[in-house]
A and B are shown apart, each in its own frame.
Chain A
């Protein structure tokens, strides 16, 4: 009997998994070169290739983006499409095994592991739609990239971030009447807390923002437009948000590299944020003033 715990009713820690940021975001696409070119315009550089699969690692600053064009391991119906889709987010945690076990205990779905010889077994649970959430506890000296990836010769393994870009977070589209469900999901499994509706980031007026328990990134949930009749309920990770301390400077730098921004209707580039024009059939990025 854990008497001491019972006696004092010690509340759970606010960051139960020891969450400490985003290690990577993965896109799946059948056109990895095309996505790579877009990523390069916003400052990412290819730095490594996977040992056994058609998977590339792009990086800038502390951000890793994985492009997965490997279709062998995917279930039927989930082959990569031409339009890049966010298929995974790697979450840095204190201890991956503990985080994984805790998530399963609270109702996460385990993703069956498919590793090749000498590759890392990275535990994952199912997220929204066909996406996965990985738990990673090696982000420092000897990282997951050192095991499963081979550096591309001659390139800088740590290209600096353009105009201070870093992860702001993820934007998730949800179905009608699903806001409370998803808030509870992220709270229960990871310890995310919702921000007051008055606290906004970026230029998009919609949705609800959840703050990670480590306070270093945000998860934004966006419902369909009111009255929208398309209620097929496709839920997905729609885009990544890139934080920058100076949005106008970032916009100017990216425009110089050929990136176009949405300037239409209610959406305009401003000091609070900006949204890139969709490419490759729907791929977009959001800039957010943060911090």
Chain B
């Protein structure tokens, strides 16, 4: 029998993973309200960030409930959402989670808790960095460097539900394009206006992560003061040198004291300062400098499979979290190939072509199917199944302003552009 290869690894020892969860009823969040799904996403994300614990909204008896691990702190309540305020009321229930035999209700909770724990464990794995929550984990050495662009290879790991509520890890390969050179150490405020809102990889010693530049502080890294525990306020430069993981990489030892301090926002909506000299531009795949490199990162299936199997064996097998040592199968799940018989095709004038030998149909072999189908469409004696005139057609075209000098500036937070339907008669 032949098999289909997948990129999903089965977890072998789920029976050893134990956790408990508590439930909160959510008042103020109505499942039929306009922004229900957006608000659910906001709760899942923001409560997780604030409590540093997995959070998930589920529907129990038609009512939204918040699920938290039993060791999580109490969630902030009231909690501001879009257009409403949510109140979390404890149900007093603490329940066991069976990862080996999840039910339809508990399977998404297992998935969320496991994803959170797994991500946390991989974040502290040596040699890997994750730009931001939910993204892939990348190696620190670029696999390719061209045109001033470093290409980092990474792996995404997603906990997925398999048939019968079993749980597996879906692993895939991805690439990230980062400038080989950081921003200038001293961008002026006018220079910064072009950088505002853009994403950069901040290389804070051995910790690398994505930040979105928010504002120029107007101060140097020596002038800008940040609180550092009991030491009190110290300069950003000293803070970085004191708190970055040792040994310090050479770029941290060469910080320009007159370099600029830039502001960015964290996932908890805190404002933090970054050293401009440690911010590396990130390129999207459509960037002109990346377009040629992008082709080289599309890997042949065999190589892709071998890379992700290597990643699973090196980084997932034996990964420890919550007192649990992960055991995954060393090879991904294989699925037996399933065949199906091509259905009969009905054309104009009630002509039926069949590869399965249906009575009163024209019998053809599978190897003739494509050619016969094309010929039948243009055959006046056969033709298309539907012969009615086409209904009115529309083309949707963005409104253009030819007299404008510039292209519309990118506004990631803005609403999508409206379009004007144009009728073609």
Same complex: no
B residues in contact (CB < 8 Å) with A: none
